[in-house]
Structure 1
Amino acid sequence: MKRYLRSREAILAAAIVVLTLLIALRFPAFIAPRNLANVFNDTSPLMILAIGQMIVILTKCIDLSVAATLALVGMVVSLLNIAMPGLPLIFTLILAVGLGACLGMVNGLLVWKLKIPPIVVTLGTMTIYRGITFLISQGKWVNAHQMSPAFKALPREVVLGFPLLSWFALAVIVLAAIVMTRTTLGRAFYAVGGNPHAAVYTGLDVGRTQFLAFTISGALAGLTGYLWVSRYAVAYVDIAGGFELDVVAACVIGGVSIAGGIGSVGAAVLGALFLGVVKNALPVINISPFWQLAISGAAIIIAVAVNSRAYRTKGRIILKQAEVSA
Structure 2
Amino acid sequence: MTAVTAGRSTRGIVDLVFRARELSIVLALAVLVAVTAAANGNFLSAQGLKDIFLNAAILALLAVGQSFVVITRNIDLSVGSVVGLVAFTVGDVLAANQGLGVGVAIVLGIVIGCVCGLVNGLLVSFGKVPALVVTLGTLYVIQGLDHAIAHGRQINAVDLPRSVLSLGNGSVLGIPYLPLITVVVMLAVGYYLRSYASGRDFYAIGSSPEAAGLAGVPVRRRVMAAYLLSGALAGLGGVLWLARFGTVVADDAHGWELQVVSAVVVGGVAITGGVGTVYGAALGALLLTTITSALVVLKVNPFWQQAITGALLLLAISVDRVLALRVARILRRRNARHGS
Aligned equivalent of 1:157: 170
- Give 1:290 deviation, angstroms: 4.8
Choose which of 108, 115, 118 in structure 1 pairs with 2:131.
118
Question: Which amino acid in structure 2 is aligned with residue 261 of structure 1?
Answer: G
Q: Give 1 or 2: higher helix fraction.
A: 2
Choose which of 265, 268, 271 in structure 1 pairs with 2:284.
271
CA distance in 2, matches of 1:16, 1:156: 25
Contact 2:87 2:238 in 1 (8 A): yes
Aligned equivalent of 2:293: 280
Choose which of 215, 221, 236 in structure 2 pairs with 1:202.
215
Aligned equivalent of 1:48: 61
Aligned equivalent of 1:88: 101
1:310-321 aligned within 5 A? 310-312=323-325, 313-314=328-329
- Give 1:297 deviation, angstroms: 2.5
Contact 2:18 2:276 in 1 (8 A): no
1:309 maps to 2:322: yes
1:68 maps to 2:81: yes
CA distance in 2, matches of 1:169, 1:56: 18
- What SS does the aligned partner of 2:297 have? coil
CA distance in 1, matches of 2:181, 2:55: 12
- What SS does the aligned partner of 1:251 have? helix
Flag the 1:316–1:98 CA change in 2: closer, same or farther, 3 A.
closer
- Give 1:315 deviation, angstroms: 8.5
> Structure 2: where are the runs of 5+ without partners?
1-11, 333-340
- Give 1:190 deviation, angstroms: 0.6
Flag the 1:223–1:39 CA change in 2: closer, same or farther, 3 A.
same
**What is the aligned-residue RMSD (CA, Å)?**
2.1
- What SS does the aligned partner of 1:283 have? helix
Question: Which amino acid in structure 2 is aligned with residue 66 of structure 1?
Answer: V
Flag the 1:28–1:203 CA change in 2: closer, same or farther, 3 A.
same
CA distance in 1, matches of 2:234, 2:304: 24
Contact 1:49 1:221 in 2 (8 A): yes
- What SS does the aligned partner of 1:60 have? coil
Aligned equivalent of 1:324: none
1:17-56 aligned within 5 A? 17-56=30-69
CA distance in 2, matches of 1:27, 1:145: 35
Question: Which amino acid in structure 2 is aligned with residue 93 of structure 1?
Answer: I
Question: Which amino acid in structure 1 is aligned with residue 301 of structure 2?
Answer: S
Contact 1:245 1:293 in 2 (8 A): no
- Give 1:292 deviation, angstroms: 3.0
Aligned equivalent of 1:236: 249
Q: TM-score, normalised by structure 1?
A: 0.92
Q: Give identity over the alignment, percent.
A: 37
CA distance in 2, matches of 1:209, 1:86: 38
- What SS does the aligned partner of 1:7 have? helix
The farther-off stretch of 3-12 and 25-34 is: 3-12
CA distance in 2, matches of 1:91, 1:240: 22
Contact 1:21 1:31 in 2 (8 A): no
- Give 1:36 deviation, angstroms: 2.1
Contact 1:47 1:268 in 2 (8 A): yes
- Give 1:287 deviation, angstroms: 1.4
- Give 1:5 deviation, angstroms: 10
- Give 1:186 deviation, angstroms: 1.4
Choose which of 272, 278, 300 in structure 2 pairs with 1:259.
272
Question: Which amino acid in structure 1 is aligned with residue 109 of structure 2?
Answer: A
1:214-272 Cα offsets, whole Å, 9 max, x none, are 10000000000010012101221210111111101111111110100000011101111
Aligned length: 317
CA distance in 1, matches of 2:303, 2:91: 27
> Structure 1: where are the runs of 5+ without partners?
318-326
CA distance in 2, matches of 1:21, 1:130: 40
1:304-325 Cα offsets, whole Å, 9 max, x none, are 11211111223899xxxxxxxx
Aligned equivalent of 2:142: 129
- What SS does the aligned partner of 1:259 have? coil
- What SS does the aligned partner of 2:329 have? coil
CA distance in 1, matches of 2:305, 2:232: 26
CA distance in 1, matches of 2:17, 2:311: 27
Aligned equivalent of 2:6: none
The farther-off stretch of 282-291 and 16-25 is: 282-291
CA distance in 2, matches of 1:47, 1:5: 19
- What SS does the aligned partner of 1:282 have? helix
Choose which of 97, 100, 105 in structure 1 pairs with 2:113.
100
- Give 1:283 deviation, angstroms: 1.1
Aligned equivalent of 1:322: none
1:37-95 Cα offsets, whole Å, 9 max, x none, are 33112100011000111110000000000000101111110110111111122111111
1:277-312 Cα offsets, whole Å, 9 max, x none, are 101111111113354333323322221112111112
Question: Which amino acid in structure 1 is aligned with residue 329 of structure 2?
Answer: K
Flag the 1:217–1:5 CA change in 2: closer, same or farther, 3 A.
closer
Choose which of 128, 149, 156 in structure 2 pairs with 1:143.
156
Flag the 1:240–1:292 CA change in 2: closer, same or farther, 3 A.
farther
Contact 2:109 2:235 in 1 (8 A): yes
CA distance in 1, matches of 2:295, 2:139: 29
Aligned equivalent of 2:7: none
